[in-house]
Amino acid sequence: MKLYILDYGIIELDQGFVVAMPNPASVDNKNPTAVWMSLPMYGVLIEHPQGRLLYDLGCHPDAMKDRWPEHWQKLAPCTLKEDNFPGEQLKKVGLSPKDIDIVIVSHLHLDHTGDLELFKHAQIYVHQTDFEMALVSTHKSPDPLEWGAYIRADVETPGYFSLVNEDMELWEGIDLITLEGHTAGILGMLVKLKNFGNIIFPSDAIYTAMNYGPPPKSPGIIYDTFGYFRTVEKVRKLARMHNARIFFPHDPDQFKEFKKAPEYYD
């Protein structure tokens, strides 16, 4: 089994989205300055004896054109080079979208659904409650401001979704982990590599090492605060049980240390 990290570019946003109230006002500083952050986005490609799996897709190539509503283009702009598109990243290891058997979308927020149209031939896994929320959110009103971080075109992508609502083994050495907090449901992943060891990918259930702690710090974008803290404890327990490292989804410092495709972990 080989695991590749695919570089999907940069997303920028207020630090308050990443950590709730990072710099609150006080008597001594009634108007604190916001901090603007640049965060990495990446996907995970796994070559396994049973097939090829792709975990998360980044932003859509047309996100900053007409795919995303204007307010999201301003609140959380993404910077994508052509090299950052999933199809181009796959070329680094000699593959194309048609070579992918399974796509796991950790959750259906706009910076994880990317070029889903390219993979309508694949089996697509999503968390059931997240899919239900995305579907309802994007169809209850014509106003994109009410959709949260979901994009209607992503939810309506051609293809069929396999809905997951409990932990499961996908292939030998690859487990899907159901998490909560950031959205109503997120699919994390535990990968057991022979040489490197075990890795937990929590996706946006835990943005960065800063969120993980200790002590854990709640993100600013959150569906269920109590669910978030349950998720942190679940990931801690799994990390201890499997002696696993945690690869956070948007941690700039950790991302610098990752091997990127065509290099791999095995």
| Element of type H or E holding 174 | strand 174-179
Question: Encoding tokens for residue 124?
Answer: 């697509």
Q: What are the start-end ranges of the E strands in 101-153? A: 102-104, 123-127
* CB atoms near residue 98 (< 10 Å): 11
- Contact of 24 with 36, CB cutoff 8 Å: no
pTM of the model: 0.96
Which residue type, as a one-letter code, is found at position 219? P
- Contact of 128 with 85, CB cutoff 8 Å: no
Distance (Å, whole) CA 114 – CA 213: 29
List the one residue out of 9, 82, 83, 67 whose CA is nearest residue 39.
9
Give me the tens of pLDDT residue by residue for the chain, a chain 266 residues long.
999 999 999 999 999 999 999 999 999 999 999 999 999 999 999 999 999 999 999 999 999 999 999 999 999 999 999 999 999 999 999 999 999 999 999 999 999 999 899 999 999 999 999 999 999 999 999 998 889 999 999 999 877 899 999 999 999 999 999 999 999 999 999 999 999 999 999 999 999 999 999 999 999 999 999 999 999 999 999 999 999 999 999 999 999 999 999 999 99
Distance (Å, whole) CA 79 – CA 81: 7
Distance (Å, whole) CA 97 – CA 54: 9
Distance (Å, whole) CA 237 – CA 2: 25
